Amino acid sequence: MSHVPVLLNEILEALQPKPGKKFIDATANGGGHVQALLERGAEVLAIEWDEQLAKALSSKLQALGLKTPVVHDSYVNIVAIAKEHGFDQCDGVLFDLGFSSWQIEEAGRGFSFERDEPLDMRYNTADSQQSQAESETAADILNGWSEQELADIFKEYGEERFDGRIAHAIVQARRTSPITRTLQLVEIVREAVPFAYRRGKIHFATRVFQALRIAVNQELENLKKGIEAAVEVLSAGGGSSSGGKPGGRIAVIAFHSLEDRIVKQYFREQRKAGVVEILTKKPLRATLEEITENRRSRSAKLRVAGKL
């Protein structure tokens, strides 16, 4: 399982890992950030919501001789997970909100509009750990939600200009047969949007697929809960005698404006409440060199805050 961690140098500079420090990677993915933190002597607790990725990461770290707990769970439960493993009052929590290249290329769950796969899009498919709402697939949404509900998620989660036209086309198409495959959906979107839109820089189905993925996994709601819980498990900073120096740090890498907006607003609210100090006046972006080597990093934005 190959994985190129995004903004690795910036993360290491922000978290400053060393022996004796404890960190939680709340979105461990392929383990690139986890490995880098471990190699610098820090203790790391890895959390991964995709069961297959969690198992693969655990095997990878064992093969490298790196011992660390890999927990298959959602980061919304980070408080309980941290306490169970002795990572409450830790030195840092990392969120890398990008989804895995493995999920696109190998998972077979319909994340990519370039492959003919079932429209699933769930990060986690372990039924035993999911509520009924969380187990709803992209196909369930496409075939069960009303035209207005579909238009709403395309607009809100995908910032799609032709949300209404696409939603109407989906409702019309499903009357003939259920929408169950990725390329079936791509064709419906292609027919619904103007010809010029099909020839834009961004693939015409990108925003619809993004919106469905966010809706299926309740990504924005979970992000709000997750970063709030993460601040709770960070070690507190010094008091007035130490100049109010911040303690544990939270670092969040977002890949689209909806995620970044949530992080930005939450950090600002917590700064006003005297809970955190914002350590990045503007989000940190990938260097040209990193973008050349890893195109996935071009849209990444890193924000960091320290607990007071």
- Give the pLDDT of the chain (308 residues) as one tens digit per residue: 456 799 999 999 999 999 999 999 999 998 999 999 999 999 999 999 989 899 999 999 999 999 899 999 999 999 999 999 999 999 999 999 986 665 566 667 898 898 899 999 998 876 444 444 457 999 999 999 999 999 999 999 999 999 999 999 999 999 999 999 999 999 999 999 999 999 988 999 999 999 999 999 999 999 999 999 999 999 987 554 445 567 999 999 999 999 999 999 999 999 999 999 999 999 999 999 999 998 888 999 999 999 99
Tokens of 39: 């190699």
Residue 132 has a pLDDT of 41
Residue 4 has a pLDDT of 77
Query: Hey, where are the domains in the chain?
Result: 8-102+219-307, 135-217
Amino acid 214 reads I
Superfamily of structural domain 135-217: Putative methyltransferase TM0872, insert domain (1.10.150.170)
Q: CB of 94 within 8 A of CB of 28?
A: no
Distance CA 76, CA 85 (A): 16
Q: CB of 96 within 8 A of CB of 27?
A: yes
Q: How many residues does the chain have?
A: 308
Q: Are 8-102+219-307 and 135-217 the same fold in CATH?
A: no
Q: How far apart are the first and last CA of the chain?
A: 38
Q: Hey, which residues does 93 pair with through a beta bridge?
A: 24, 250
C-alpha angle with apex 13: 86 to 225, nearest 5 degrees? 50
Distance CA 187, CA 283 (A): 37
Amino acid 258 reads L
Is residue 132 helix, strand or coil? coil
Tokens of 282: 């503007």
Q: Which phi-psi region, left, alpha or beta, contains residue 144 (left: φ > 0; alpha: ψ -120 to 50)?
A: alpha
Residue 200 has a pLDDT of 87
- Its CATH architecture, for the domain 8-102+219-307, is 3-Layer(aba) Sandwich (3.40)
Residue 209 has a pLDDT of 96
The kind and range of the H/E element at 261 are helix 257-272
Distance CA 99, CA 116 (A): 19
Residue 59 has a pLDDT of 94
Residue 253 has a pLDDT of 97
Residue 100 has a pLDDT of 63
Tokens of 82: 């941290």
Distance CA 109, CA 181 (A): 10
* C-beta neighbour count of 215 within 10 angstroms: 23
Residue 135 has a pLDDT of 76
The residues near 139 (Cβ < 8 Å, ≥ 6 apart) are 118, 119, 120, 178, 179, 180
| pTM for the predicted model, two decimal places | 0.90
